[in-house]
Structure 1
Amino acid sequence: MSARLIDSFQRRIDYLRVSVTDRCDLRCTYCMPKGFKGFEEPAHWMRHDEMTRLIGLFTSLGVRKVRLTGGEPLLRRGLSELARSLTQLPGLDDLSVSSNGTQLARHAGPLKEAGVHRLNISLDSLDRDCFARITGRDCLADVLDGLREARAVGFAPIKLNMVVQADVNLDEVKRMVAFAIEQGFVLRLIEPMPVGETGRASKGVDLSRLGEALAREHGLLPQVMGQGAGPARYWCTADGGMSLGVITPMSQHFCAACNRVRLGVDGTLYLCLGQNDQVPLGQMLRDGADDATLTQAILGGIAAKPERHEFNERPQQIVRFMSQTGG
């Protein structure tokens, strides 16, 4: 059945990212503007049973990896219960959660018990003042507490995502690398994307060159990942205890190997982060569509998945914010 989710460019789509909420308790400068109030009405959010139903259709078509995202997913009530129901879906091999970590200390245990396999935690600085400037809140200690608890309950590896901005936190990168090596985390440096006005206002750095320089400096070795493993290029320590990755949608895009689509909190299927192509699966579901109709809509969407983003050529075209798309 997995062959059914192959797009017109012969890419196998086996990874689904699902936004469980577009709300967040931070206001990171590259993601959501201060004072933003244009959130989706809760009445339009997918219920847990609706998410499970739609995700089940994707797994029946060959999706093997699902990531729960936001906004901040730990703000959605009953996330652990949702995760537990998803782990029962036939064919789902990997369930992960992306979080900013502010609520992680009290949720790490229940998520682990529910069957979540992996965590990605956003951490853009280890400097308290810099962290507060980027996120709008002085809560770095809460994130670090969450990381400690996640390790204590057995999550491994834990990935740290650092969006690198020139003149904001570029000077924090080396400190973050040292922290990841010391703690055994996977560190991924990410170029900001022009998604929404906040994304366009963020000045990025060519991380292809920076990653190579950091690998040489720390004696890291190129790490070969399997096909479809994701957009990052990795280096690792000789003992494999720490990995450094770079995600370079601007300086060296990875669209030819794209294996993912996204569901927004209202059930909208977004086919490309950098294009406006979408399928209103959530609305169709609420209007009474049966599984066969929804399946045909999914297949039609995958067939229409664009070849690549146009962030460099047309940076103004995506007006929605990252939190509205689903991480």
Structure 2
Amino acid sequence: MLKDTFGREINYLRLSVTDRCDFRCVYCMAEDMTFLPRAQVLSLEESEQICRAFVELGIKKIRITGGEPLIRNNITHLFNQVGQLQGLEELTLTTNGSKLTELATSLKLAGVKRLNISLDTLDSEQFTELTRFGKLEKVLDGIQAAKRAGFERIKLNAVILKNRNLDQVPALVNFVLSEGLDISFIEEMPLGAVVEHGREEEFCSSAEIRAVINREHPLQESAVKTGGPSRYWQVPGYQSRIGFISPHSENFCASCNRVRVTAEGRLLLCLGNENSVDLKDIIRRNPGDIEILKQAIVNAMANKPEKHHFYEDDAEQIVRFMNTTGG
């Protein structure tokens, strides 16, 4: 089992396979966002080698993210390869849902157990405004396709901004309750320079979101623990989990059990710090030598910080966007 210098067991890898999306999200709203040259992005073979190395080191859960991972050519091949790794207990996916009508069944057959679908609003006009090119109906159709495919759990992720989509919280909760889905409401993480809103004035805490929900549905704290940063609540009479990811107001660093690998192969030890190791460079300088890769991962754990540092006085401290980091 991988451990860091603070004794935390690391058993969860989030791997980004592309920095590109077919439409933007709340995390990536800057006008001047640029994308990586293709040669700088991990190949699917390199991504599989990284997954294999982590599993051999004791990682039990892998989440494939992006950008939008399902726009990668031949992406189901990667899911098939990773899904067969001995020792891996759970393979999951974060997606914006736009390709699920085509790929949900193939992903389920490849071994994907759970889906996280990013959805910040159920207002079709607001959805197109937020995403520039997205169509809400396509995402909703994708959710239904995923339900038919039979995934163990399907969870929506919603980033809530006070003056942009806070009014959508009741509709999102009613939707997941009626559809038998889960949802996590996420405090905005200040990654990259965003000029369309001021982060402090738009910040909405998990406590504020719970207060909005409680006006219509009384929440009861749940004993469910998934090993991730979400803290779950439930509405009596429903099975849906209503989670809150609170990197600011309810810091969860003490129990952090995960690391990330970006689309360009940088092993990030913390979402809110710039400590990283270039795994792509190690792979390309030592083709086929998984032991060197594994040793680099083990060595990197010594640099995993105790906690994150996101921003001060509304100024971003982390310059990369979530499309590169991985959602």
- Number of paired residues? 322
Q: Specify the alignment match of 2:285 in structure 1.
A: 287
Residue 129 of structure 2 corresponds to residue 130 of structure 1? no
Residue 299 of structure 2 corresponds to residue 303 of structure 1? no
Match of 2:261, as an amino acid?
L
CA deviations 1:129-186 (Å, max 9, x no partner) are 1111211124000000000110011123210001000110001101111111111110
Q: Specify the alignment match of 1:224 in structure 2.
A: 223
How far apart, in 2, do the equivalents of 1:109 and 1:55 lie? 22
Match of 2:249, as an amino acid?
S
Match of 1:163, as an amino acid?
V
How far apart, in 1, do the equivalents of 2:81 and 2:198 lie? 39
| SS across alignment from 2:9 | coil
Equivalent residue runs for 1:25-104 within 5 Å: 25-36=22-33, 38-104=34-100
Q: Specify the alignment match of 2:190 in structure 1.
A: 194
Runs of 4 or more consecutive aligned structure 1 residues displaced over 3 Å after TM superposition = 199-202, 237-240, 312-315
Q: Please give the TM-score of this superposition, normalised by the length of structure 1.
A: 0.93
How far apart, in 2, do the equivalents of 1:301 and 1:32 lie? 32
**Do 1:16 and 1:261's aligned partners in 2 also have CA atoms closer than 8 Å?**
yes
Could you tell me which runs of 5 or more consecutive residues in structure 2 were left unpaired when the two chains were aligned: none
How far apart, in 1, do the equivalents of 2:152 and 2:203 lie? 29
Q: Specify the alignment match of 1:183 in structure 2.
A: 179
Q: Please give the TM-score of this superposition, normalised by the length of structure 2.
A: 0.93
| SS across alignment from 1:117 | strand
- The Cα shift of 1:54 comes to 1.3
- The Cα shift of 1:221 comes to 2.3
How far apart, in 1, do the equivalents of 2:181 and 2:103 lie? 19
**Do 1:124 and 1:164's aligned partners in 2 also have CA atoms closer than 8 Å?**
yes
Q: Specify the alignment match of 2:14 in structure 1.
A: 17
**Do 1:27 and 1:34's aligned partners in 2 also have CA atoms closer than 8 Å?**
no
Selected match of 1:241 from 224, 233, 239? 239
How far apart, in 2, do the equivalents of 1:320 and 1:137 lie? 22
| SS across alignment from 1:196 | coil
**Do 1:11 and 1:257's aligned partners in 2 also have CA atoms closer than 8 Å?**
yes
Selected match of 2:268 from 263, 267, 270? 270
- The Cα shift of 1:89 comes to 0.9
Match of 2:264, as an amino acid?
D
How far apart, in 2, do the equivalents of 1:286 and 1:270 lie? 18
- The Cα shift of 1:108 comes to 0.7
Which stretch has the larger CA shift, 215-224 or 280-289?
215-224
**Do 1:27 and 1:136's aligned partners in 2 also have CA atoms closer than 8 Å?**
yes
- The Cα shift of 1:51 comes to 1.4
**Do 2:169 and 2:213's aligned partners in 1 also have CA atoms closer than 8 Å?**
no
CA shift in 2, pair 1:268/1:312, >3 Å: closer
How far apart, in 2, do the equivalents of 1:312 and 1:21 lie? 26
- The Cα shift of 1:319 comes to 0.7
**Do 2:177 and 2:238's aligned partners in 1 also have CA atoms closer than 8 Å?**
no
Could you tell me which runs of 5 or more consecutive residues in structure 1 were left unpaired when the two chains were aligned: none
Q: Specify the alignment match of 1:323 in structure 2.
A: 323
Question: Aligned residues: percent identity?
Answer: 43
- The Cα shift of 1:120 comes to 0.2
CA deviations 1:89-124 (Å, max 9, x no partner) are 111000001001111111111111111111000000
Match of 2:318, as an amino acid?
I
- The Cα shift of 1:311 comes to 1.6
**Do 1:129 and 1:138's aligned partners in 2 also have CA atoms closer than 8 Å?**
no
How far apart, in 2, do the equivalents of 1:172 and 1:93 lie? 35
Match of 1:169, as an amino acid?
N
Match of 2:267, as an amino acid?
L
- Give the alignment's Cα RMSD to 1 decimal: 1.8
CA shift in 2, pair 1:239/1:78, >3 Å: farther
CA deviations 1:28-76 (Å, max 9, x no partner) are 243242352x212112222222211111111111110000000000111
Which stretch has the larger CA shift, 212-221 or 188-197?
212-221
| SS across alignment from 1:151 | helix
| SS across alignment from 1:77 | coil
| SS across alignment from 1:16 | strand
